Amino acid sequence: MAKKTVLDFQNMKKSGEKVVWLTCYDNPTARLMERAGIEMILVGDSMGMVVYGYAGGTVPVTMDQCIVHTEAVRRGAPNIFVMGDMPFLSYQTTPEDAVRNAGRFYKEASVDAIKLEGGRRVVKMIKAIVDAGMVVCGHIGLTPQSSGQLSGFKAQGRTAESAYELILDAIAIQEVGASFLLLEAVPPEVGKFITEYLKIPVYGIGAGPYVDGQVLIMHDMLGVFEAFTPKFVKKYANLAENMVKAFEDYAKEVKESKFPQKEHCYGMIEGEFEKMMELVKKKLV
């Protein structure tokens, strides 16, 4: 599978072909996603919830954590378009900080793009990153890093006024040179309008079926993360139950001395056990 480029994704928008992407945070899973034909991976700051279990959600996630996980994903999926997620306060302070931290993703983790949250209030940061030669994906709608200002994890753009503000954000993000836009938790009508209005690809997580592609958090769609499930998630598996059953079976077999069996053990080379016993008799007895 050849890794897709920004131009490929633009052509897919024009032709109406949907883009498939998921979040990922580790090397083995990235390898499986490449085998499955996933076209784009976001190493999301959602790791704060689904990997680290932070009470503060995505806010406590650091640049160093994001870099380490993105490096692992990149090694596992060399042929997938990998996007690094800019964590809280890695870009909101100054355009210089934004460029420096975005550059870390490129230099240390070999990403193909970075994503950052916010609309018109972060366009200076987006423009600075783009002007430095990097590919940017904007992110508006429900933006978890600023969920406190949004009164929690709630859908956005459900009134005419708030939807119009999202449209203005989307236009501003495109105008400063972003290559993609991610819409999160907005009504399908809003997703459809923004997708058709913008020239850049528009992707959705809970933004309806009319966007140019879909992304889900891996732990949600696999049924691994059980703390809560957003309305927009479809579970394609229920691995949590399978994992608990496997852990229970393993514990039972260990307690009952049913594991390991002979087929799980290494054998000594023929005749070496007798030699070992001779050494024991000479040295230890």
**Are residues 276 and 151 part of one domain?**
no
| Assigned domain for 197 exists | yes
Locate 135 and state its tokens: 């590919």
Distance in angstroms (rounded) separating the CA atoms of residues 277 and 273: 6
| Assigned domain for 1 exists | no
Instruction: Return the DSSP state at 118.
Output: B
Active site residue 184: yes
**Are residues 149 and 271 part of one domain?**
no
**Are residues 252 and 122 part of one domain?**
no
- State what percent of residues in the chain have pLDDT above 70: 97
Quote the pTM value: 0.93
Average pLDDT, the chain: 95
Distance in angstroms (rounded) separating the CA atoms of residues 238 and 223: 4
The pLDDT tens digits for 7-31 are 999 999 999 999 999 999 999 999 9
- State what percent of residues in the chain have pLDDT above 90: 92
| Assigned domain for 99 exists | yes
Q: At what angle do helices 27-36 and 63-76 cross, to 10 degrees?
A: 50
Q: Identify the three-state secondary structure at position 226.
A: coil
pLDDT for residue 145: 83
**Are residues 152 and 15 part of one domain?**
yes
| Assigned domain for 125 exists | yes
CATH number of the domain that residue 53 is part of: 3.20.20.60
pLDDT for residue 1: 77
Query: What total of structural domains would you count in the chain?
Result: 2
Instruction: Tally Cβ neighbours within 10 Å of residue 106.
Output: 17
**Are residues 193 and 269 part of one domain?**
no
| Assigned domain for 150 exists | yes
pLDDT for residue 82: 98
**Are residues 263 and 197 part of one domain?**
no
Place of tokens 């769609």: 221
pLDDT for residue 149: 53
CA 154 to chain centre: 20
**Are residues 128 and 246 part of one domain?**
no
Residue 109's domain spans which residues? Answer: 6-237
211 pLDDT above the threshold of 80: yes
107-132 as b/e, with b when 16 or more CB fall inside 10 Å? ebbebbbbbbbbbeebbebbbbbbee
The pLDDT tens digits for 154-199 are 889 999 999 999 999 999 999 999 999 999 999 999 999 999 999 9
Query: Residue 153 — very low, low, confident or very high, per pLDDT cuts 50/70/90?
Result: low
Beta bridge partners of 42: 23, 83
148 pLDDT above the threshold of 60: no
**Are residues 256 and 140 part of one domain?**
no
Beta bridge partners of 22: 41, 216
| Assigned domain for 232 exists | yes
Query: Residue 229 — very low, low, confident or very high, per pLDDT cuts 50/70/90?
Result: confident
| Assigned domain for 100 exists | yes
Query: Residue 285 — very low, low, confident or very high, per pLDDT cuts 50/70/90?
Result: low
**Are residues 188 and 148 part of one domain?**
yes
Q: At what angle do helices 63-76 and 95-109 cross, to 10 degrees?
A: 30
| Assigned domain for 121 exists | yes
DSSP notation for 3-21: PP-HHHHHHHHHHTPPEEE
**Are residues 135 and 276 part of one domain?**
no
pLDDT for residue 247: 97
Distance in angstroms (rounded) separating the CA atoms of residues 193 and 112: 27
Q: Under a CB-based contact definition with an 8 Å cutoff, are residues 102 and 132 in contact?
A: yes
Which is the catalytic residue, given 184, 248, 256, 278?
A: 184
242 pLDDT above the threshold of 90: yes
**Are residues 148 and 268 part of one domain?**
no
Mean pLDDT of 71-100: 98
Q: Under a CB-based contact definition with an 8 Å cutoff, are residues 73 and 26 in contact?
A: yes
**Are residues 247 and 203 part of one domain?**
no
